[in-house]
Amino acid sequence: MIEVSGLTKRYGDKTAVNDLTFTVKPGIVTGFLGPNGAGKSTTMRMIAGLDEPTSGSVRVNAADYRRAHVPMAELGILLEAKAVHTSRSAYNHLLALAQTNGVPRSRVAEVIDLVGLAEVARKRAGGFSLGMGQRLGIASALLGDPQTIVLDEPINGLDPEGILWVRNLLKGLAAEGRTVFISSHLMTEMALTAHHLIVVGRGELIADLDVEEFVALASTNVIMVRSPQATQLRDLLLGPDVTITSREAGLLEVRGVSAETIGDLAFDHQIRLHGLAVQQASLEDAFMEMTRDSVEFHAHTTTAHTTTAHTTTAHTGDQSGNQSGAPTRVAQTAGESR
């Protein structure tokens, strides 16, 4: 269990983490999501007692980690892949860490096998690929058979087989009753691995919800309607919980009404439709939507920022969710809104 309460971290006048409060429960995998610079790594460093909070507190397994007598049994953490002296072998790296807490040598061999590094364990870690570095980092986090596991972007740099392996490993660890907390930028990956999500942006909590709830939010469909009488149709559709945006004349993006309703309404009012298409929002889109206002480092694109107020509470109810994050994307809306 990790309990973060009112956690704030400032570096000079830069606030990296701002009054974060959440709990990471045992028995499930919890994903920690947020755009670049959201404060995920900073939060994880404070969990490990490496950075001192400016205010607020963190408890690991209901205690202050910095006072732990058996730290490696309490918490296993991966902060950066390849944080290893380049000319030391993976085996000696792990052995040195294991020795501090009295973890037996047999366990070192065990975690090396577990992460699949047996063949290269005696080679210089400097020659490792990013994926091998990640595996070594995961091995070091698991050395003490910890109750709580914190991994910063563990799938970064892994191949599909490696991603699948990490996913199953983490689920297995959680099923054993451990607390598993992993950060990522990839909503689709988290939807498959995690049960619960903590979403942050600019150091602040944006959402604390189950993956299922997130998927339900994300599956709000967008219906693209093309009509020469778009303005007339828009006025008919507008209502509570309905969002309509328009990027070009004659094209509406409608959220909160089903395609059937739109088609019937158009027919009843003799409005000609040239196109009526349902587009499913992907999980990544929903994630971007959720964190849009808190993205710190925007790439400069030619599309202007949307001016629409999004109603994330709109449910269509008839969609069962888009588990795999279908590639169909909702175009970013820009220009005039309803």
Partner 1 sequence: MTSTLTPTRTELNVTPRFPGMKVTQARVIKSEWTKFRSLRSTLITLLVSVALTVGLGALISAVTASHWAQASPADRADFNAVVTSLNGVNISQLAVGVLGVLLISGEYATGMIRASLTAVPKRLPVLWAKLGVFAAVVGALSVISTFAAFFLGQSLLSSKNLNVSISSPNALRMVLGAAVYLVLVGIIGMALGGLFRNTAAGISSLVAVFFVIPPILGLLPKSWSDRIGPYLPSNAGEAFWGHPTGSHLAALTGLLVLCAWAAAAVAAAAVRLKERDA
Ligand X SMILES: Nc1ncnc2c1ncn2[C@@H]1O[C@H](COP(=O)(O)OP(=O)(O)OP(=O)(O)O)[C@@H](O)[C@H]1O
Residues that bind partner 1 (CB under 8 A): 1, 25-28, 45, 48-52, 61-62, 65-75, 77, 79-80, 82-89, 92-93, 95-104, 107, 140, 144-145, 147, 177, 179, 195-196, 208-210, 213
By DSSP bridging, strand 75-78 and strand 148-151 are: parallel
Q: Give the span between the Cα atoms of 270 and 229, in whole angstroms.
A: 10
Q: Which is nearer to ligand X, 41 or 219 (CB)?
A: 41
Q: What is the dihedral of CA 261, 267, 271, 273, to 10 degrees?
A: 70
Task: Please report whether residue 42 would count as binding ligand X according to CB under 6 A.
Answer: yes
Both tokens of 199, joined, read: 């979403």
Q: How far is the CB of 38 from Mg ion (least distance, A)?
A: 8
The torsion angles phi and psi of 137, rounded to 5 degrees, stand at -65, -40
Q: Which does 19 bind (CB under 5 to 8 A by kind): ligand X, Mg ion, partner 1, none?
A: none
Distances (CA, A) of 67 to 29, 49, 74, 76, 96: 25, 10, 11, 15, 21
Mask for 156-185, x = binds ligand X (CB under 6 A): -----------------------------x
> Which residue is it, tokens 């007692």?
49
Nearer to Mg ion, 170 or 200 (CB): 200
In terms of Cα–Cα distance, which of 105, 71, 77 is closest to 91?
Answer: 105
Please name which of 71, 46, 73, 76 lies closest in space to residue 58, comparing C-alpha atoms: 46
Other CB atoms within a 10 A radius of the CB of residue 279 amount to: 16
- Per-residue x/- mask for Mg ion, residues 4 to 43, rule CB under 5 A? -------------------------------------x--
Q: Which stretch binds ligand X (CB under 6 A): 33-41, 124-132, 286-294, 298-306?
A: 33-41
Question: Pick from 133, 36, 129, 31: which is nearest to 79 by CA?
Answer: 133
Please, which residue, 159 or 176, has the CB nearer to partner 1? 176
Q: Is 313 in the site for ligand X (CB under 6 A)?
A: no
Encoded tokens for 334: 């820009």
Residues, the chain, total?
A: 338
* Nearest-approach distance from CB 279 to partner 1, in angstroms: 28
State the minimum distance, in angstroms, from the CB of residue 293 to ligand X.
Answer: 16
Least CB distance from residue 63 to Mg ion, whole Å? 25
Q: From the list Mg ion, ligand X, partner 1, none, which binds 36 (C-beta under 5 to 8 Å, kind-based)?
A: ligand X
Cα Rg of the chain (Å, integer): 24
Number of residues that bind ligand X (CB under 6 A): 12
Cβ-based nearer residue to ligand X, 34 or 146: 34
Identify which range of 11-19, 229-237, 242-250, 327-335 contacts ligand X by CB under 6 A.
11-19
Which option in partner 1, Mg ion, ligand X, none does residue 39 bind, with CB closer than 5 to 8 A by kind?
Answer: ligand X
Tell how strand 251-255 and strand 222-226 pair up.
antiparallel
Please identify which residue in the block is written with the tokens 């049960």. Answer: 195
3-state secondary structure of 160: helix
Query: By the criterion CB under 6 A, which residues form the site for ligand X?
Result: 11, 14, 16, 34, 36-42, 185
Query: By the criterion CB under 5 A, which residues form the site for Mg ion?
Result: 41
